[in-house]
Amino acid sequence: MRKRDVIIACDFSSAEETMKFLDKFREKKPFVKIGMELYYAEGPSIVREIKRRGHRIFLDLKLHDIPNTVKKAMAVLSRLDVDMCNVHAAGTIEMMRAAVEGLTREDGTRPLLIAVTQLTSTSEERMQKELLINATINDTVVKYAQNAKEAGLDGVVCSPLEAGMVKKACGEEFMTVTPGIRFADGEAGDQVRITTPARAREIGTDYIVVGRPITAAADPVAAYRRCVAEFVG
Ligand code: C5P
């Protein structure tokens, strides 16, 4: 079975702030997520620097374009030696296949590739009225996950509350990466469909992505350890 892990969302706006945060982790080097804000502010150098410090990296840039463009962009990200990256499943199976091709290095290795199904910020009402997707959110998430599997991807990003049905539809080996995690005694912030690290473990998700409960904690290292203890055990 795959090893569960906690990924810290490094939602900072500069390299300076990020390094100040990562400097606190003297023993275990956590798996970190670099999102659009930090990547667009600092470029590929931030990936190289964090990698050099010994962290694994999920580069969360959510690519969505024509297949050829995604393929070429993925080849660049693959050379950056990230451990995990992602695309929007809405880009179609053809686009996802192109992403896998672009990512795959000459020696056959490649970073893990996952797909965003429906963003957790999209309500069913908006999806139906604005995007004209005449289905439930759950059916859409499952269908997009099946498309991602068919295209050869390793898994999906989804709400922890959707992880169970994705596993049921796509198999235990199909990976789920889930944000929306809060401690039972913590603040929800702007997240709505949330769950605790312990409950995420019960649901059977593979990775949890945790931002503010760690980055905004008075003692981030203690908060990270608490997440690992509850989720990984
Ligand atoms: O601070 P918080 O724990 O809410 O951070 C969650 C992280 O996961 C953020 O980087 C956010 O952009 C990301 N994310 C999310 N919901 C999604 C996809 C990504 O919260 N559906």
Examine the pLDDT at 146 and tell me if it is beyond 80: yes
CB 85 within 8 A of CB 110: no
Average pLDDT of 101-115?
97
Question: pLDDT over 70 for what percent of the chain?
Answer: 99
Tokens of 112: 């893990």
Examine the pLDDT at 194 and tell me if it is beyond 90: no
Q: Quick one: pLDDT at residue 90? A: 97
Examine the pLDDT at 1 and tell me if it is beyond 70: no
With the most atoms of ligand 1 within 8 angstroms of its CB, the residue from 209, 214, 227, 231 to mutate is 209
- At residue 189 the predicted structure's pLDDT band, cuts being 50, 70 and 90, is confident
Query: What confidence tens digit (pLDDT) does each residue in 28-87 have?
Result: 999 999 999 999 999 999 999 999 999 999 999 999 999 999 999 999 999 999 999 999
Task: Assess whether the C-beta atom of 35 lies below 6 angstroms from ligand 1.
Answer: yes
Q: Quick one: pLDDT at residue 193? A: 74
CB 148 within 8 A of CB 155: yes
CB 188 within 8 A of CB 145: no
Residues belonging to the binding site for substrate are 11, 33, 60-69, 120, 182, 191, 211-212
Task: Assess whether the C-beta atom of 7 lies below 6 angstroms from ligand 1.
Answer: no
Lowest-pLDDT range of 18-22, 99-103, 158-162, 210-214: 158-162
Among 206, 119, 107, which Cα is nearest to 154's?
206
Listed in order, strand segments (DSSP E) in the chain are: 5-9, 31-34, 57-63, 84-88, 112-116, 155-157, 175-178, 207-210
Annotated catalytic residues are 60, 62, 65
- At residue 123 the predicted structure's pLDDT band, cuts being 50, 70 and 90, is confident
Among 6, 26, 9, 10, which Cα is nearest to 18's?
10
Burial class of 3 by CB neighbour count within 10 A (0 to 12, 13 to 18, 19+): exposed
> Ligand 1 centroid vs 137 CA: distance in angstroms?
18
Among 18, 34, 26, 156, which Cα is nearest to 83's?
34
Task: Assess whether the C-beta atom of 197 lies below 6 angstroms from ligand 1.
Answer: no
> Ligand 1 centroid vs 211 CA: distance in angstroms?
7
Examine the pLDDT at 23 and tell me if it is beyond 80: yes
Query: Strand 207-210 relative to strand 112-116: parallel, antiparallel, unpaired?
Result: unpaired
Tokens of 51: 């990698």
Q: Quick one: pLDDT at residue 35? A: 97
